[in-house]
């Protein structure tokens, strides 16, 4: 579904991402992990078109999309959520979701229908009339997911969707992520909460200092001494 080949991003003297290659197959949940500053968000930025790679290639369903603009990539079927959520604060949850739908279809009737579908899928009915500025972090993250889904993506890039959530909210977000995946959306997810991520992901790619140091199933990666040394030995693996 998405394949990156030798993806590299240089910021001045810093190689934030260095020759990274991986692939996510249709219907999979791929986890992208690594310590702070490993290059995970920079990878997302290059896939979603927010940053042009210094070198390397991004393919979506076999078509090269390297360096295309974010709105073009969104139109092709790749949506993303942000670590720091960015809703339109003065609008309600429902209006924010509608704005997401309108970025895909300019037909208001069609966009309304899509927004309703997404509201049902994400079970967000309880907060649709609240203003985005009045939402808790947990509800902001629910909105962020719904807004991305309103663009009818085939691939969803989730950047730390569980950050700042309570234990109960993490449980609900994990269930929702699985449900969205089962509805046919391929997912790449950056997450620091290892236990939750390992329970969702089919496959994991591990970055450290911009370099891919390991990949495999959650079981394989958790047992890789290189990964334990670099990352899983931290308190995060609680
Ligand atoms: N626009 C930029 N300009 C300069 N350096 C940057 C820029 N964006 C990221 N970096 C640097 O690139 C490296 C990788 O950052 P990135 O945000 O991709 O890491 P990350 O793995 O997502 O980290 P975290 O888990 O903390 O979010 C870091 O050293 C960061 O400071």
Condensed to tens digits (0 to 9), the pLDDT of residues 159-174 reads 999 999 999 999 999 9
Return d(Cα 168, Cα 173) in angstroms, integer: 9
Under the banding of pLDDT at 50, 70 and 90, the label for residue 233 is: low
Res 237: pLDDT: 45
Q: Where is pLDDT greater, at 30 or 105?
A: 30
ipTM > 0.85 (yes/no): yes
Under the banding of pLDDT at 50, 70 and 90, the label for residue 120 is: very high
Percentage above 90 pLDDT, the chain? 84
Return d(Cα 90, Cα 176) in angstroms, integer: 26
Does the structure show a pLDDT above 70 at 50? yes
Ligand 1: which of 41, 208, 209 to mutate, judged by most atoms within 8 Å of the beta carbon? Answer: 41
Res 98: pLDDT: 95
- Whether 16 is in the pocket of ligand 1, judged by its Cβ within 6 Å, is yes
Res 85: pLDDT: 72
Ligand 1 atom closest to 210 (CA): 14
Ligand 1: which of 4, 42, 191 to mutate, judged by most atoms within 8 Å of the beta carbon? Answer: 42
- Whether 38 is in the pocket of ligand 1, judged by its Cβ within 6 Å, is yes
Res 232: pLDDT: 54
Lowest mean pLDDT among 33-37, 83-87, 184-188, 223-227: 83-87
- Considering only CA atoms, which residue is closest to atom 5 of ligand 1? 11
Q: Report pLDDT digits (tens) over 176-185.
A: 999 999 999 9
Ligand 1 atom closest to 34 (CA): 21
- Whether 84 is in the pocket of ligand 1, judged by its Cβ within 6 Å, is no
User: Mean of the per-residue pLDDT values for the chain?
Assistant: 93
**Predicted TM-score of the model (pTM):** 0.92
Res 238: pLDDT: 43
């Amino acid at each position: 579904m998405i394949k990156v080949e030798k993806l590299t991003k240089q910021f001045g003297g810093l190689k934030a991402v260095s020759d990274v290659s991986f692939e996510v197959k249709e219907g999979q949940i791929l986890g992208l992990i690594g310590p702070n500053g490993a290059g995970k968000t920079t990878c997302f930025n290059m896939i979603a078109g927010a940053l042009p790679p210094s070198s390397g290639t991004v393919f979506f369903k076999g078509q090269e999309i390297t360096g295309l603009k974010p709105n073009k990539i969104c139109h092709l079927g790749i949506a993303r959520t942000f670590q720091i959520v960015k809703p339109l604060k003065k609008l309600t949850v429902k209006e924010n979701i509608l704005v997401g739908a309108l970025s895909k279809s300019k037909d208001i009737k069609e966009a309304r229908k899509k927004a309703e579908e997404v509201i049902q899928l994400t079970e967000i009915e309880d907060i649709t009339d609240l203003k985005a500025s009045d939402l808790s972090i947990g509800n902001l993250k629910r909105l962020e997911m719904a807004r991305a889904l309103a663009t009818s993506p085939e691939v969803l890039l989730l950047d730390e969707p569980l950050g700042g959530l309570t234990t109960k909210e993490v449980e609900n977000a994990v269930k929702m992520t699985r449900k969205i995946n089962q509805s046919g959306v391929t997912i790449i997810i950056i997450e620091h909460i290892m236990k939750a991520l390992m329970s969702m992901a089919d496959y994991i790619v591990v970055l450290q200092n911009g370099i891919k140091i390991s990949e495999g199933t959650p079981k394989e990666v958790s047992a890789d001494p290189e990964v334990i040394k670099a990352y899983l030995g931290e308190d995060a693996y609680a």
